[in-house]
Amino acid sequence: MNSKTKKILNISLKCVTWLLVAFTVFMMIFTVVTVTTVDRNDRSIFGIRFYIVQTDSMSKSDKNADMDVHFNAGDIIMIKNVKDPTALQPGDIIAFMSTNAESYGQTITHMIREVKKTENGRVQGYVTFGTNTGVDDEVLVEPSYVIGQYAGKLPKVGIFFAFVKSTPGYIVCILVPFMCLILYNGVNMVRLFRKYKKKQTNIMEQEKAKIEAERKQNEEILRELQALKEELSKKINTPQ
């Protein structure tokens, strides 16, 4: 493998790693935010609550084809706070706490068909209906049970969220990427350790070679000194 190919491979691995890190962090944040906010009447983000649509009561059909707003099961809808629930009008889509025996306590999002008022003009409640069927809800929605007004939707995001909350979704979207990061970092640490060990070994070999060279040089010097000493000794002992 030449240096150019190796460089391209390293850059590609770094890009994949950062993408994996970004995806894993996003999924963790997404999961935490959705678990703590979606389908929670007591939690909102900047005055907006999020709910996963469970039925197709507001989906598009022949009965509501001329309406602008439709949402299906699996969509996430955004519900904004309403300062004055008594100011709502027919045609507004509201989320409310159901008091119907069959769905008591559940959050329902339907359209207002009619505003019921008392003789003195006080708002008594709202007649609501699912636009898909056109059938009115059995129980009148009192203003105190209104949670908020429809503000928009995130198509099919609820399906993905439901998948993430499931065991297979957790494994695929969070656990597997996280384990891949751990494995990659582990392999990278081993590679760096081996590289460091090799570098240290090379340094030790160089030091060893240097010491050996100095030893040989010193031995050579000692031999030269010994030879010089012997030569001087001969000259001193030779009669003049």
Does residue 76 sit in the same domain as residue 102? yes
What is the number of domains present in the chain? 3
- Provide the domain limits for residue 206: 188-240
Query: According to the model, what pLDDT value does residue 24 have?
Result: 76
Q: Are 92 and 143 in contact (CB under 8 A)?
A: no
pTM above 0.85, yes or no: no
Does residue 144 sit in the same domain as residue 73? yes
Average pLDDT in the 73-80 region? 93
pLDDT class of 195 with cuts at 50, 70, 90: confident
Does residue 122 sit in the same domain as residue 82? yes
Does residue 52 sit in the same domain as residue 104? yes
DSSP character for 60? -
Query: According to the model, what pLDDT value does residue 201 have?
Result: 87
B/e letters for 13-35, b = 16+ CB within 10 Å, e = fewer, are eeeeeeeeeeebeebeebbeebe
The pairing of strands 48-52 and 107-117 is unpaired
Query: According to the model, what pLDDT value does residue 78 have?
Result: 94
Query: According to the model, what pLDDT value does residue 20 have?
Result: 76
Does residue 50 sit in the same domain as residue 149? yes
Q: Is the pLDDT of residue 240 over 60?
A: no
Query: Among 32-36, 42-46, 142-146, 158-162, which is the least confidently predicted range?
Result: 32-36
Cα torsion angle, 52, 54, 59, 63, sign? negative
Structure confidence by residue, pLDDT tens digits, 202-239? 888 888 889 888 888 888 888 888 888 777 777 776 66
69 inside domain: yes
Does residue 16 sit in the same domain as residue 64? no
Q: Is the pLDDT of residue 42 over 90?
A: no
Q: Is the pLDDT of residue 30 over 80?
A: no
Instruction: Say how far apart CA 129 and CA 109 lie, in whole Å.
Output: 9
The percent of residues above 90 in pLDDT, for the chain, comes to: 33
Structure confidence by residue, pLDDT tens digits, 139-170? 999 999 999 999 999 998 888 887 877 788 87
DSSP character for 118? -
Helices first, then strands: H and E counts in the chain: 4, 6
Q: Are 75 and 141 in contact (CB under 8 A)?
A: no
Q: Is the pLDDT of residue 125 over 70?
A: yes
Q: Are 147 and 79 in contact (CB under 8 A)?
A: yes
Instruction: Say how far apart CA 179 and CA 176 lie, in whole Å.
Output: 5
Does residue 86 sit in the same domain as residue 12? no
59 inside domain: yes
Q: Are 141 and 123 in contact (CB under 8 A)?
A: no
96 inside domain: yes
Does residue 89 sit in the same domain as residue 51? yes
Does residue 52 sit in the same domain as residue 149? yes
175 inside domain: no
Query: According to the model, what pLDDT value does residue 1 have?
Result: 60
136 inside domain: yes
Cα torsion angle, 42, 48, 50, 56, sign? positive
Q: Which two tokens stand for residue 188?
A: 């990278």
141 inside domain: yes
The pairing of strands 93-97 and 107-117 is antiparallel
181 versus 139: which is more confidently predicted?
139
